[in-house]
Structure 1
């Protein structure tokens, strides 16, 4: 009996390889075989050009000129595809050798690298929410982050929860930036410039004294400036760190 998709998924976690199969149906022999790698590459292309919201199993199947049932021979469902996509992005993260003297810089560097990977594909960080880290490439990043934090003197339990918090912030930040960029791209009036925001703050009634007085501070900096600031707060607040 042929292995089920779930069994093939388990085999991927064990072997880390693509057990591709030949294309079935009338197009067999005329097109490249459908493999996990082909599905992943096609999914990334859809997200890059159309956004994560457009990614469905049917959309991937259409792009591959096949039916959704052909995909299920390799990918269990959309959640499995999401896990594969995040794992592939995590595979591109460089992990440094933990250095007790540079652990703070190193952990922020890993988070920044993950952010940059997510921002390449609009909205894809949504796939990382509520997902158990079982993919080996994803676990490789959390393993590297854990090693860095432990080298910095952070207690194991604190380090474990810190990784959850840092990844959650990176995911949320990347999703927000993607949503804002999408609105800007379509000329959505809900996204306003800093100058416009300053004018709106200045026009507020006196019941908002602090907002009016510190409007410059409230609107200062780029989105990445705020990202760096927040990561610094999170890392510096870890108890027991060197």
Structure 2
């Protein structure tokens, strides 16, 4: 008897992300079609997100791209949440985790967060799949394990390290999602939601006197690139761990 999708999912968590045994299929004209495997599902899903954004990824849309029906997908993945977990896990598998260095732990944390951010930005909106996801996929857990090892090597208190990792991941996810949304809206010629810095400065300057600080510090409020702000925020969060290191 073939394993159920739930059993396949459990096996992926215990061993590694696998593709399962491919099954040959025939297309409408009688020609052989690409077998449905977990790897084929993941690769096709990434293609949809890369071209159309994460919002376009549904089980029905994915099945159509694979020239099959949704029921065929459920032989390999439990549901959309399971697919999301596989996608985030595949991106996490590409993260290069350094050997923890007590003298360079802050730089190493920034490096891992930057890698994860760049992975998410390759696929517009995909970081949304990481929100509220249980940390059970082995590839995802590998990144959390690596971050924890780096922080512990740097002398961070274990509980502070655990909470800091959660906060860092939430920020990276949210940052990546916001950048993806802004880029998508910027590409729409009929959407004026995204405005330039010059336009923001003009609007702030035109504010009434009830916004004195916004008017006075408009330059500071709009300064820096999104990358500058990413580095600043990660650094600010790591600065908050200094006291836990000193207390140990």
Report the counterpart of residue 219 of structure 1 in structure 2: 222
Distance 1:115 1:144 in 2: 16
Distance 1:134 1:197 in 2: 43
CA contact 1:166–1:231 (8 Å) conserved in 2: yes
Give the deviation of 1:20 after TM superposition: 2.8
For the pair 1:204 / 2:207, whether they are aligned, the reply is: yes
CA contact 1:22–1:34 (8 Å) conserved in 2: yes
Report the counterpart of residue 10 of structure 1 in structure 2: 10
Identify the match of residue 159 of structure 1 among 140, 158, 161. Answer: 161
Report the counterpart of residue 231 of structure 2 in structure 1: 228
Report the counterpart of residue 189 of structure 1 in structure 2: 192
Identify the match of residue 52 of structure 1 among 26, 47, 54. Answer: 54
Give the deviation of 1:29 after TM superposition: 6.4
Q: TM-score, normalised by structure 1?
A: 0.97
CA deviations 1:205-240 (Å, max 9, x no partner) are: 111111111110000000111111000000011132
Unaligned runs of 5+ in 1: none
For the pair 1:168 / 2:132, whether they are aligned, the reply is: no
Unaligned runs of 5+ in 2: none
Give SS of 2:96's match: coil
Comparing 201-210 and 219-228, the one that deviates more? 201-210
Structure 1 residue runs of 4 or more that deviate by more than 3 Å after TM superposition: 23-29
CA contact 1:47–1:55 (8 Å) conserved in 2: yes
Number of residue pairs the alignment of both structures matches:
242
CA contact 2:44–2:66 (8 Å) conserved in 1: yes
CA contact 2:25–2:32 (8 Å) conserved in 1: no
Q: TM-score, normalised by structure 2?
A: 0.94
- Structure-to-structure mapping, 1:69-218, within 5 angstroms: 69-187=71-189, 188-218=191-221
CA contact 1:20–1:36 (8 Å) conserved in 2: no
CA contact 2:24–2:32 (8 Å) conserved in 1: no
Give SS of 1:7's match: helix
CA-based RMSD of the aligned residues comes to 1.4
The structure-2 alpha-carbon separation of the partners of 1:145 and 1:18, relative to structure 1 and needing over 3 Å to count, comes to same
Give the deviation of 1:69 after TM superposition: 0.8
Give SS of 1:122's match: coil
Give the deviation of 1:14 after TM superposition: 2.0
Give SS of 2:33's match: coil
Give the deviation of 1:26 after TM superposition: 5.9
Give SS of 2:195's match: coil
CA contact 2:44–2:62 (8 Å) conserved in 1: yes
